[in-house]
């Protein structure tokens, strides 16, 4: 079946703008995760959804970052007033049983 998909694959924006990143998880997966990866580093956890609710948002760096999953499937990561330091690859993953997390190809965000 289809894997995790993320759109757009690349996003270039200007400092101060608002961006939305989309994740389509594997069908039937109840758990969805967002991570951020800076160049040369491993991914860092941002937020975890179980169903529609955010079960753990301890990784969100500040209140400019927000994520939703209104119907328990597709999720959108929203970043307000983007800063150059937000530039990174944003990865989404989903899992069925809370064990193996399957990752999408990521969205490369560049803030100019």
Partner 1 sequence: SQQGEEDPQALSIQEGENATMNCSYKTSINNLQWYRQNSGRGLVHLILIRSNEREKHSGRLRVTLDTSKKSSSLLITASRAADTASYFCATDEKGAQKLVFGQGTRLTINP
Contacts to partner 1 by CB under 8 A:
4, 31, 33, 35, 37, 39-45, 48, 50, 55-56, 59, 89, 91, 93, 98-106
Element of type H or E holding 107: strand 107-111
Strands 53-56 and 44-50: antiparallel
CB-wise, 4 or 19, nearer to partner 1?
A: 4
CB-wise, 55 or 112, nearer to partner 1?
A: 55
In the complex, the smallest distance separating the C-beta of residue 73 from partner 1, rounded to whole angstroms, is 18
Cα gap 68→37, rounded to integer Å: 20
Reported in sequence order, the residue ranges of 38-74 that DSSP labels E, i.e. its strands, are 44-50, 53-56, 65-68
In the complex, the smallest distance separating the C-beta of residue 57 from partner 1, rounded to whole angstroms, is 10
């Amino acid at each position: 079946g289809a894997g995790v998909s993320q759109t757009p694959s690349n996003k270039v924006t200007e400092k101060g703008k608002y961006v939305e990143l989309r994740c389509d998880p594997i069908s039937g997966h109840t758990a969805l995760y967002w991570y951020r990866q800076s160049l040369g580093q491993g991914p860092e956890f941002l937020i975890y959804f179980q169903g529609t609710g955010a079960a753990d948002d301890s990784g969100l760096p500040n209140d400019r970052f927000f994520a939703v999953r209104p119907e328990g499937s597709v999720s959108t990561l929203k970043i307000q007033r983007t800063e150059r330091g937000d530039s990174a690859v944003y990865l989404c993953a989903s899992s069925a049983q809370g064990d193996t997390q399957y990752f999408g190809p990521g969205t490369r965000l560049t803030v100019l």
